Structure 1
């Protein structure tokens, strides 16, 4: 699914490279826009487009030119706004909603002077505010543009050329290059989204937590009990680590809420569980030899033997430093998380995507053991290291741990060892466990130890035992984690009789929501049914080109001439899509047939594939003349019956226990090419 989407995007860029150059120019410009530049991943998208240069989809020199021009215009526009409105612009919306970034940028400009315009181009966050502040503080225009142009001339090639090099390396992988590139992009976007989510949570959560702790402290001061005395001691406003405690409170509340929410979904089978299958199918489409080798190596860094070795090394170092309390908390953190994780697994008995991957208690999937133990291992390690660092460096420790843990967690989903909800639940539980231990640990002053020494010991242990584990087990793990498609087989007569009921009754979207009924099943070659339907007036929809896409922004295009918006079924794009004009309302309606691959094959025919699909009536509304909006109408029976007579034999069947309603009579149309 993802691979086909990426192919479509690549083909579109190759056919219309000017759109890519325009996008790079606008993204480079937006990097210097206050507020927007701090949240829009412009650099990431520019790098992704640059990696397409070796494929011939885009050309290097126009790409460099677009990036340089965009960077110069963006900084220049921001500088002009600051120069025009002076300090007043810093007090207006939406800039006044980000006082921390403004303060950081002002301090950055005060520290580096005119050079800050050049330096800030390479520093996320302040990059979006420095040109504005330079203008507001009346920096000389000539000096600004010298720094502006020089920074753009250095910034563009320093970002684009490495991406081109990476694209050249990926090209050497041949057919595996595209899914491998998509995998890397997904990883980057996942980590970027996680880091920004953490930043936003802390930005808005810590002030709320500080307010809540103040009120809790007032409440405890009015009581005289053992619990109130503990609260008074822990939440003393005079404590230097009060802000750190507020951070832990935010982390605990958020992660506990997430874990119990996921647990409820797993037990009750809510949409998140249905989304698991969609995410699983989407990632399995990306499986390649190089991708598997990379993900297996990452997952091996999180294996039990590596976790045990790093835990032992850190414990021995803490014992050698005679920090006995810290050593005890360290053991409790890792061992406790592992024990509780196993207990939950055994209690829930949830099966893995690949049921035969492990045995014993490890055969169960929720929550992910790799995600839980590695979250606690590296999270609590980052907590201990951060306590000994200056506040400015604490986030670096947290983000480093987050990066390592997310890589390991992602590898588990990619390899099919866990469902997405297993991994997310493990991350949430591990994070909550760290917060609980952090609160308890901070009840007493931290023991003195070197955070640098602790980091060196843990990194050394990870490097030695991790590389040894990869060396010893990579070959066997390649066999263990090899992609094994789960395909159900049956005879054509069994499918025709009642085997069709094993396929989904409704489409499930990427978020696990139940959508329209799957009202048709086809056994045979897609080319046969496509030809039969085209003889009855159905046609291939218009492709997604720049010209055709603009049809959605006008009131003149006929519905049957508009490109079809892709719809996912359990993480898969439709293999065949056809459209038919609605003769009753040709100007406002069309019928759309989508057929998806199923996991069912017939064992006694030449054309063994079974396809599952839906037919929907799309109605188009044009509330204003510049936009077209589509909605699916509920006449399921009429839409399905348009396929009657398309192929012989055919059969209308009803699912066992299906309830009729005004929209759908519960029946499904079975079609095959006559080879059964």
Structure 2
């Protein structure tokens, strides 16, 4: 330990025992540094660096500290904004402002050049930082726009100012290693953000211009006659490419066609679908199952139907009869098409649920289609002039759609493509009435109609949950029990790893014995470095070491390894990685499923270059042989070699097992 580290050790120990005080101190620094006038006198950047160093040296959890910094920065800027709106031009006469006249002038110039973006830019620019919120308040920036810029910039400012000190305090040696690359990543992150802000409007404009040309080519009205009536939806959809909403509608339509083609071409689940479903089932406990079932009721047939009827009735009462018919058509057609496709395709559900009376076929998800159609109808019904309500409806509706879609996966009743297809179908048919009918006329009561429909949806969701009808929780799969012992050592186990992307490499061995880690591998093998923010920073070190880097995660059947060991030889850039999952529990101990790979780590430009190699037969014999001898195991042949104790092997094979 260096002299500086030894001197600071009592401070670090006290902070580790009192993390709440550290968070309050960081929040106070961020508040003072962002507060108008006061921030001109406080060396906030230096104090944040010192606070970060104290946090890093104390090994305090970084996320609460970042939260404190964000809250302090938002509160300081908000108070500065209020001072600007309250005092207006009187701010120019304040003593501190008269002492720094250039700061106020630069802040005003920045606001006149960049408008609302000046709040984000000013957060990172020297003396302007504590003045710009007061200036934008003084010059009349709307509160909602300021709050959005304030919060978003604080979320980026807190890690940018706190993390360098955290790295420095965690380890002086590590700080010297990764400081340059950490700053490079921060610069790339901010540069990428501003590049996207500059690029997206320039991509959006040519697309809409192309849509305008197409709209002029197809004309304002569909062809006359009977054929024109049939072509009216296509004609309106082509003209909708003039707007961003039209492009989103076409994106949903293409997504539905893609998932439908996939369901027709390969009726069974893809490998990645099996992997994601296994991950969801591995997380599903009693509490999560109950919570997911409550949330999934929002997409049920009864709540969606009642909410649609309420919306249509409110619109009809407000003399919006044409739009009421469109709303009913959008939701009803989405649900009917979903059930019709289920009957035509007959795609099997996970866990054999198709054979039960409670569930029909899988593709597409009717829950996802119904809630997506309803939310899309809400957005298309609202007139454009109620922009805030439209945005709130879009955000809340997108959240409900996402939750319903995730619950179908968490409950184990749909494959991921079923959910994507259902969402795309609901958006396509839910928006079609608005696209065809043109929802741009003013409407006085549409906002209240949407609010009423949302209230009915929530009430009906609660009622179906309390009554446990018509979608009872007992119809859904129970949480999987993954610790059931097997009766015989000869029962079949998995031969290949099922990762998140589907079936992956085969296991190299089934290993008997060892409670925490497979028996016999210690002391040649050591536990892999755990995933913490300190070890994560080592991945940006210009001199990566195989012994210090945490191992990249792998999954089998939705589970992370129960044990991860590494073995580093003479070359510090190469290591063997052993991942072990408990495949079964027997009276004689667990049986482990072993996966082995060779990692070669070399320096890279911003990240190390990692190459993984599968071991050959000779390497496997050299690695597993000494461990099996220490554990007293012998090798039995099979699709996956089985390593058992000598007595079990002799009982299983009268001629005895063969040593590795």
TM range (shorter): 0.5 to 0.7
- 2:106 corresponds in structure 1 to 83
Report what 1:424 is aligned to.
420
Residue 378, structure 1, aligned to residue 366, structure 2: no
**Partner residue of 1:669 out of 628, 637, 641:** 641
* Aligned residue in 1 for 2:480: 485
Q: Show CA shifts across 1:89-125 (max 9, x none).
A: 9479x99x99xxxxxxxxx9999526759x5797114
Partner of 1:560: 547
Q: Name the CA distance, whole Å, in 2 between partners of 1:337 and 1:200.
A: 37
Deviations 1:544-597 (A, max 9, x none): 456655654557675234432322334321111111234xx5333111110124
Matched, 1:530 2:523: no
C-alpha deviation, 1:337, in angstroms: 1.0
Q: What SS is found at the alignment partner of 2:510?
A: strand
Number of the residue aligned with 2:597 = 616
- Taking structure 1 as reference, are residues 470 and 616 closer, same or farther at Cα in structure 2, changes over 3 Å only? same
User: Contact between 1:26 and 1:70, CA under 8 Å: does it hold in 2?
Assistant: no
Q: Which residue of 1 aligns with 2:245?
A: 248
Question: Residue 279 of structure 2 is aligned with which of 273, 282, 293?
Answer: 282
CA distance in 2, matches of 1:375, 1:321: 24
Deviation at 1:472, TM superposition (A): 0.8
Question: 1:561/1:128 Cα in 2 relative to 1: closer, same or farther (>3 Å)?
Answer: closer
Are 1:574 and 2:561 an aligned pair? yes
Q: For the residues of structure 2 that align with 1:317 and 1:405, how far apart are their CA atoms?
A: 23
Instruction: Identify if the C-alpha distance between structure 1 residues 128 and 479 changes in structure 2 by more than 3 Å, giving closer, same or farther.
Output: closer
Contact 1:544–1:563 (CA under 8 A) maintained in structure 2: yes
1:126 Cα deviation (Å)?
6.2
Q: Supply the distance in 2 between the matched residues of 1:222 and 1:459 (Cα, whole angstroms).
A: 35
Q: Are 1:298 and 2:279 an aligned pair?
A: no
Q: CA deviation at 1:616?
A: 0.5
The C-alpha deviation readout for 1:257-286, integer Å capped at 9, x for no partner, is 223333445556699933333333333444
Alpha-carbon shift at residue 307 of structure 1 (Å): 1.9
Asked whether the equivalents of residues 278 and 572 of structure 1 are also in contact (C-alpha less than 8 Å), the reply is no
Instruction: Give the corresponding residue for 1:124.
Output: 148
The equivalences for 1:96-495 within 5 A come to: 112-113=137-138, 123-125=147-149, 207-220=205-218, 226=224, 246-266=243-263, 273-321=270-318, 323-356=320-353, 359=356, 362-384=359-381, 386-387=382-383, 389-442=385-438, 450-473=445-468, 477-481=472-476, 483-485=478-480, 492=488, 494-495=490-491
SS in 2 for 1:559: coil
- 1:59 Cα deviation after fit: 11
Distance in 1 separating the partners of 2:66 and 2:393: 39
Q: Give the aligned partner of residue 170 of structure 2.
A: none
Is the 1:553–1:628 contact (alpha carbons within 8 Å) kept by the matching residues of 2?
yes
Query: Post-superposition shift, 1:376?
Result: 0.8
Structure 1 residues 204 and 413: alpha-carbon distance in aligned structure 2, compared to 1, 3 A threshold: farther
| 2:168 corresponding residue in structure 1 | none
Match of 1:630 in 2: 610
Contact 1:24 1:70 in 2 (8 A): no
- Contact kept? 1:120, 1:126, Cα under 8 Å: no
How far residue 248 of structure 1 moved from its aligned partner, in angstroms, is 3.4
The alpha-carbon deviation at position 373 of structure 1 amounts to 0.8
The change in CA–CA distance for 1:21 and 1:594 in structure 2 (over 3 A counts) is farther
Please state how far the C-alpha of 1:28 moved relative to its aligned partner: 7.2
Three-state SS of the structure 2 residue aligned to 1:252 is helix
Would you say the 8 A contact 1:542–1:563 is kept in 2?
A: yes
Per the alignment, residue 4 of structure 1 pairs with none
Residue 569 of structure 1 aligns to a residue whose secondary structure is coil
Q: Deviations over 1:152-191 (max 9, x none)?
A: 9xxxxxxxxxxxxxxxxxxxxxxxxxxxxxxxxxxxxxxx
Query: Residue 307 of structure 1: SS of its match in structure 2?
Result: helix
Taking structure 1 as reference, are residues 331 and 398 closer, same or farther at Cα in structure 2, changes over 3 Å only?
A: same
Matches within 5 A, 1:573-592: 573-582=560-569, 586-592=571-577
Secondary structure at the aligned position of 2:595 is classed as strand
* Displacement after TM superposition at 1:638 (Å): 4.3
Contact 1:14 1:58 in 2 (8 A): no
Q: Are the aligned partners of 1:541 and 1:563 in contact in 2 as well (CA < 8 Å)?
A: yes
Change in CA separation of 1:291 and 1:28 when aligned onto 2, cut-off 3 Å: farther
Describe the shift of the 1:73–1:617 C-alpha distance in structure 2 as closer, same or farther (beyond 3 A): farther
Contact 2:464–2:470 (Cα < 8 Å) also in 1: no
Question: Aligned to 1:574, what secondary structure does the other structure show?
Answer: coil
What is the deviation of 1:669?
2.7
1:68 aligns with 2:80: no
Determine if contact 1:365/1:418 at 8 Å carries over to the other structure. yes
For 1:111 and 1:234, the matched residues in 2 are separated by 46
Kindly tell me: are residues 279 and 333 of structure 1, through their superposed partners in 2, closer, same or farther at Cα, counting changes over 3 Å? same
Partner SS for 2:217: helix
Query: CA separation of 1:316/1:627 partners in 2, compared to 1, >3 Å: closer, same or farther?
Result: closer
Per-residue deviation, 1:377: 1.9
**1:13-66 superposed Cα distances (whole Å, 9 cap, x missing partner):** 979969x9699879979x99xxxxxxxxxxxxxxxxxxxxxxx96898997478
For 2:273 and 2:355, locate their aligned partners in 1 and report how far apart those are by CA, in whole Å: 19
SS at 1:630 equivalent: strand
Q: Secondary structure at the match of 1:571?
A: coil
Q: Please say if residues 563 and 579 of structure 2, whose CA atoms lie closer than 8 Å, have aligned partners that are also in contact.
A: yes
Whole-angstrom CA distance in 2 between matches of 1:351 and 1:231: 34
Indicate the SS of the match to 1:484. coil
Relative distance call for 1:451 and 1:483 in structure 2 (3 A) is: same
Superposed CA RMSD in Å reads: 5.3
Identify the residue that residue 643 of structure 1 maps to in structure 2.
624
